[in-house]
Amino acid sequence: MKTPTRLRVLLVTLLLCRGGVLYSDPPPAISLPLTGKIIVLDPGHAVKDESGKIINPGARARRFGAWERDVALGVALKVVPLLEAQGAKVYLTRTGSNPWRYNRMKRSDNRSRAIFANVVRANAYVRLHCDWNRSHKLHGFTSYYFRWGSRTLAKTIQRSVGRTWPGRDDGIQRRSFVSASAKMPAVLLEMGYLSNPKEGKELATDTHQTALAQVIAQGIVDYFKK
């Protein structure tokens, strides 16, 4: 019976020696710039009706190019992990497998998307779209806001995008179409013109969508760092 006793002593000793590790306090939580923040990203368009048909496809690049709805979703999906890595909880209004559905009880889809942001108590609501114009020449990106409380978020996102493409910065604009129903700072970013031959092609590429996602995420981080 000698050996088991020795073994027991050895095990108890080992446990006691490791006690500092076993019972120590959890490591202090690392505070990231977006810890505790809730962000809602809204890739515009692509509302589906009851039959699964898309009823507002958005704009399309010339010569049967990229659809706005696909560019918006592509960029939004790339923004999500970047914000999560900074500590945020991120919601999308739609994904490829979970579309935004048309509900005839609701007056407007854009209004109900803003209400979704209110329900999840978002700290920021960022809508992603692409511009279109009859003129091929127009190009660049614009951040729209409506409530005065959204102006700083619009400025910060626009500045972040503008740092990468300074020649295409069309500035910020105040417009009533930007989710008056949203209770938190809300911005609609037009990420470029699908009607412009160069931007239309570029917006469809994975490389450009990745670059856009990085500067949009950076703009959101900059806003909350202030």
Task: Convert residues 103-142 into a mask of x (bound to Zn ion by CB under 5 A) and - (unbound).
Answer: --------------------------x-------------
What single-letter amino acid sits at 1?
M
Q: Which residue is nearest to Zn ion (CB)?
A: 129
Q: Are 41 and 126 in contact (CB under 8 A)?
A: yes
Angstrom distance (rounded) from CA 52 to CA 31:
42
Q: Rank residues 68 and 202 by Cβ distance to Zn ion and give the closer one.
A: 68
Question: Quick one: 74 or 88, whose CB is closer to Zn ion?
Answer: 74
- Give me 130's structure tokens: 């692409």
CB of 123 to Zn ion, least distance (A): 24
Which pair of structure tokens corresponds to residue 25? 């306090």
Distance from the Cα of residue 220 to its chain's centroid: 9
Report the alpha-carbon distance of residue 138 to residue 166 in Å, rounded: 15
By CB under 5 A, the count of residues binding Zn ion is 3
Site string for Zn ion, 33-72 (x = CB under 5 A): -----------x-------------x--------------
Strand partners, 92: 41
Nearest distance, CB of residue 194 and Zn ion, angstroms: 9
Q: Residue 129 or residue 139: which is nearer to Zn ion going by CB?
A: 129
Of 29, 85, 31, 23, nearest to 213 by C-alpha is 85
Give the footprint of Zn ion on this chain (CB under 5 A): 44, 58, 129
